[in-house]
Copies of this chain bind each other. A is one copy, B any other.
Amino acid sequence: MPLGQSSHQAPVLSEFALIRSLRRRFGRTDSSVVRGIGEDAAIIKMPTGSRLLLTTDLLAEGVHFDLATTTLQDVGYRAAVANLSDIAAMGGVPRYLLVSLAVPHERTAAEIDRLYRGLMQACRRYGVQLVGGDTSASRNGLFVNITLTGAAHPDRVLTRAGARAGDLIYVTGTLGDSQAGLALLQAGDRASASLFDKGADRIRRFLIRRHLRPLARVREGRLLAERRLASAAIDLSDGLSGDLAHLCEESRVGAELDPRAIPVSSACRSYADVRRLNPVDVALSGGEDYELLFTVPPANRRKVEALARRARFRVSCIGLITARRSGIRVKRDDGSWQPLTVTSYEHFRR
């Protein structure tokens, strides 16, 4: 997540206002900085011309994770994926990882070891190397900061800023699963098992796994960037509504969403049914799916869909980029449009 973008309800300033203010006042950089404050990752021009990507995320106990529903191994894994996903959204290759921990005195060495094990599972899966970090004490709660570097080809980096009116809006995978999995974890075993008639256990396991062990779409981001098929991209960490708003802000465009086109898994649909929720609302507001949202010039539409078929990943076209002045709108069932309500995802609610 970029500087000033809050992953929890920002207490000090609205996130857009904070990003704008920081960028205006402190964001002046020389020509080696291709993108700074406001992107998924900073983009640095190296002397050879290749691009160094830099991203960082700070996760706080009680804000981003709750050790009542998440093991330390899952915390480590998810912290790595949050950063891997930022590199994925730019079409980069993730490379080197640093981890800082602030550890309360009640945590044991074995617990910290579990956190590292989860972190290393993600690192190994994505070919990333742990190269250093920092460990210190905390008086209140566990804090985990990850910094991840990535490499990218100069002409093949995706940013949030490239979308143009007329581009199609795509997402990978299905949305809302992570949010549903979190809700099931919070409800506890018995409460959630009784929600479903049959296949309850399978549904429950699928959704919880999507929450605790999300994938970073590194391969998908690279394919889209290498073939220059997408005009802009962002990863879905805060939820579709919030992250689409970020992309539109950076590209200075508006958007029209077709809610019926938003991909929702059958498991998430079952969850929404028994909870009497609209699955589209779950998909729009649920964060931490770590799918990619990307925009595609109309001429590339068939190529993107062919690529996805060949490389076996799911893509769904969910809307259209429009002029900035029309804002971000969602299609009603009767075909009319209503403004999108941006809901800021809270990573867990007590």
- A interface with B by C-beta (< 8 Å): 1-13, 15, 18, 21-22, 25-27, 29-30, 32-33, 36-39, 41-42, 44, 46-48, 50, 52, 54-64, 95-96, 98-105, 107-109, 111-113, 116, 119-120, 129-141, 143, 145, 147, 149
Give the copy number.
Answer: 2
A131 near B60 (CB under 8 angstroms)? no
Q: From A149, which residue of chain B is reached at the shortest CB distance?
A: B54
The 7 listed contacts between A and B (C-beta, < 8 Å) are: A7-B134, A11-B105, A18-B135, A57-B100, A63-B136, A64-B136, A143-B143
A11 near B132 (CB under 8 angstroms)? no
Task: From the candidates B18, B32, B95, B145, name the one contacting A58 in the complex (CB within 8 A).
Answer: B145
Q: Which of the listed residues A32, A95, A136 has the most CB atoms from chain B within 10 Å of its own CB? A: A136
> In the complex, how many angstroms separate the beta carbon of A23 from the nearest chain B beta carbon?
10
State A29–B120 Cα separation when bound (angstroms).
12
> In the complex, how many angstroms separate the beta carbon of A69 from the nearest chain B beta carbon?
16
Report chain B residues within 8 Å CB of A149.
44, 52, 54
Task: From the candidates B6, B15, B98, B101, name the one contacting A147 in the complex (CB within 8 A).
Answer: B98
Known pairs A15-B135, A102-B143. 12 more at Cβ < 8 A?
Answer: A1-B134, A3-B133, A6-B137, A11-B104, A27-B130, A46-B48, A58-B100, A58-B136, A60-B102, A63-B102, A138-B143, A143-B143
> In the complex, how many angstroms separate the beta carbon of A262 from the nearest chain B beta carbon?
26
A62 near B3 (CB under 8 angstroms)? no
Ordered nearest first, which 4 A-B pairs have the shortest CB separation?
A: A140-B140, A58-B100, A42-B131, A3-B133
A109 near B63 (CB under 8 angstroms)? no
A134 near B56 (CB under 8 angstroms)? yes
B48 near A47 (CB under 8 angstroms)? yes
Report chain B residues within 8 Å CB of A95.
44
State A21–B42 Cα separation when bound (angstroms).
32
Q: From A112, which residue of chain B is reached at the shortest CB distance?
A: B12
> In the complex, how many angstroms separate the beta carbon of A153 from the nearest chain B beta carbon?
12
Known: A48-B47, A112-B12. A132 touches B62 (CB 8 A): no
State A271–B26 Cα separation when bound (angstroms).
38
State A10–B59 Cα separation when bound (angstroms).
21
Q: From A101, which residue of chain B is reached at the shortest CB distance?
A: B58
Q: From A137, which residue of chain B is reached at the shortest CB distance?
A: B8
A47 near B50 (CB under 8 angstroms)? yes
Task: From the candidates B10, B62, B107, name the one contacting A139 in the complex (CB within 8 A).
Answer: B62
